[in-house]
Amino acid sequence: MENSALIGFLLQWLFQGVMAMLILWLAYIGFTSPIAAFYNGRNVFVRWRATLATILGIALVVAVFVLVQALAVGLEKSASNTGDARNLMIVRKGSTAESSSQVSLQQYQTIRYWPQIARDAQGVPLVSADVLSLISQPRIDGAGEANVSVRGLTAMGILLRPQVKLVAGRWFTPGKREITVSSKMAKRFAHFKIGDQFKTAGNLLTVVGEFDGGSSAFDSEVWLDADEARSIFDRQSYSSMLVRATGSQAAAEISARIESDKRLPLRADSEVAYYSQQTSTAKPIKIIGDFLAIAMSIGATFAAMNTMYASVGSRTREIGTLRVLGFRRRTILAGFILEGAILAAVGGLLGCLLALPLHGYSTGTMSFNTFSETVFQFRITPWLAAKGILFSIIVGVVGSFLPAIRAARLPVIASLKSV
């Protein structure tokens, strides 16, 4: 009980401190009178029930707004974390994703020995030909099945992706029908634990290890040998090539050479840029988030308006007294708008705090590029929190504007006669 009282006292002290700074600043710029602003600030505590209802209503709206936007930010962050600035991704010209791309064996052999491609200590070109396919797997909680991205790659492909780290077991051995899975996918799908076996395309695969994708798009994949993947999924071609250039000039030369060679209907992009472009999944979530924000803001605006109208009705005599003391209409108007804005700002801050515990929480959705499960984390950035608070202040200002006009226009004599 003592702790609750102490917390309440600290919150009140903090709120009044913020109020004092706002009052001094607004008085300094001539927006309102310090006495009128202080009166509106004290009213927040005197009529605490209406204040609390308004704050909680706006807090819930802001929490939903921030969380939905955090989904989109998490997807974009996952894509932007993927790739190495030294690598080039080569896919079929016109393809929108690896899953719809084809790179033939002949094209692979033509490109892999170009002098612009870096080599390891043994003189082996730093090139990986990858195969991307989909399999359907049951979820670990029994809630149906979903598509999982399976990437076939070579040992060089693992070296070209340094952000991916083995965290348990071992990497797959080519020719043994083995796979290594993302740790996050192992938590979401059945038969993905080390030692588990499952059938796909008539072949029995054994899970031998888990890796951490470093909060990148690779967290949504399982890996096996590239040539085994071609055999299992009956592919004549690869899906893409990943190459490491000897430098930025060499990277530009590789892109130009591919563009000018009519035998190679391919295109080469920076791996980082390629994955950054694969963010179309975030767009529908952003649209939904904006739609929900608009719909809920309308409701929150009417709620704030209703609260402020009730507040004006219960303070008619007080408003008349302020007018008798010489306060101008614009001062009363500014005071009530300030009161609504502060209430909304507190609600916005509380909404951000309610959403904050979900920061970093892993979840998943279907990618509109690969039509497979994409794993990502809620990302509540400082800018997103600022947007949530700004959104709440706008709601508060709009919701208190009409009641503030009514308060400013109240006749003095009628106000003083009210009970």
Q: Please report which helix (H) or strand (E) contains residue 300, including its range.
A: helix 282-314
**Domain parsing of the chain, residue ranges:** 2-79+281-417, 94-264
User: 3: which 2 tokens?
Assistant: 């702790």
Predicted confidence (pLDDT) per residue in 279-314, tens digit: 655 566 667 667 776 777 677 777 777 776 776 666
Q: Output the pLDDT for position 34.
A: 58
Question: Of how many residues is the chain composed?
Answer: 419
Please check whether residue 63 is in contact with residue 355, taking contact to mean a CB–CB distance below 8 angstroms.
yes
- Quote the distance between the C-alpha of residue 198 and its chain's center: 33
CA distances from 161 to 146, 278, 348 (A): 26, 18, 41
Phi/psi region, residue 342 (left: phi>0; alpha: psi -120 to 50; beta: rest), is alpha
Q: Please report which helix (H) or strand (E) contains residue 414, including its range.
A: helix 412-417
List the one residue out of 417, 328, 259, 349 whose CA is nearest residue 63. Answer: 349
Q: Output the pLDDT for position 196.
A: 93
- Quote the distance between the C-alpha of residue 296 and its chain's center: 20
Other residues' Cβ atoms within 10 Å of the Cβ of residue 212: 17
User: 231: which 2 tokens?
Assistant: 């055999």
Q: Output the pLDDT for position 11.
A: 53
Find the angle CA(337)-CA(341)-CA(342) to the nearest 5 degrees: 120
Please check whether residue 246 is in contact with residue 118, taking contact to mean a CB–CB distance below 8 angstroms.
yes
Find the angle CA(43)-CA(40)-CA(316) to the nearest 5 degrees: 75
d(CA 156, CA 160): 6
Q: Output the pLDDT for position 29.
A: 44
User: 147: which 2 tokens?
Assistant: 């598509």
d(CA 70, CA 77): 10
User: 256: which 2 tokens?
Assistant: 């130009």
Residue 225 forms beta bridges with which residues?
A: 153
Please name the amino acid found at residue 229. Answer: A
Q: Output the pLDDT for position 368.
A: 54
Residue 364 forms beta bridges with which residues?
A: 375
Buried b / exposed e across 18-28, counting CB within 10 Å, b at 16+?
Answer: ebeebbeebbe
- Quote the distance between the C-alpha of residue 101 and its chain's center: 28
Other residues' Cβ atoms within 10 Å of the Cβ of residue 119: 14
User: 94: which 2 tokens?
Assistant: 């016109």
Q: Output the pLDDT for position 28.
A: 44
Stretches where the chain sits below pLDDT 50 are 1, 24, 28-29, 31, 419
User: 36: which 2 tokens?
Assistant: 């009128």
Please check whether residue 314 is in contact with residue 407, taking contact to mean a CB–CB distance below 8 angstroms.
no
User: 204: which 2 tokens?
Assistant: 């029995």
Sign of the alpha-carbon torsion through 276, 277, 281, 287 = positive
